[in-house]
Amino acid sequence: MSEINTTPLVDVMLVLLIVFMITIPVITHTVPVELPKVRNEATKTAPENINISINKDGQIYWNQSLIPDTTALLERLKSSAVLKPQPEVHVRADQATRYEYVGRVILTAQRAGIQKVGFITEPGAAAPQRF
């Protein structure tokens, strides 16, 4: 006989197909999690909002004035934290700023008792959505 018998090959392929059809739905089930939706809200600029800017060298600016160190920033934030309603802190950091500098500002705001801290970013290209 000069032909190859393909019957055992077909049998094995059918068994593998059935095994994969049974196991794939079990694998794809994951923990049900409601993922956040992408949205862009316009910043509501209020006169009581505090704008803190950090340049790439780590210098901190309160609106337009330079703050010498985090101790002075802490004192200014403490005086603002007692106001009613408490102002929001908006942090604007240069793209090349080290995370360390941003972390110090966030920690200082937390130590001062500020409840709302937000980050200001430039709008970029629309993020790809997964379905």
pLDDT at 61: 93
Which residues in the chain land under pLDDT 70?
Answer: 1, 26-47, 123-131
pTM of the predicted model over 0.75:
no
Show the CA angle centred on residue 78, arms to residues 77 and 82, nearest 5°: 110
Task: State how far the alpha carbon of 32 is from the alpha carbons of 26, 27, 29, 61, in Å.
Answer: 14, 14, 9, 43
Q: Which residue bears the tokens 């080290």?
A: 98
Show the CA angle centred on residue 60, arms to residues 121 and 78, nearest 5°: 100
**Number of neighbours of residue 74 by Cβ within 10 angstroms:** 16
pLDDT at 25: 74
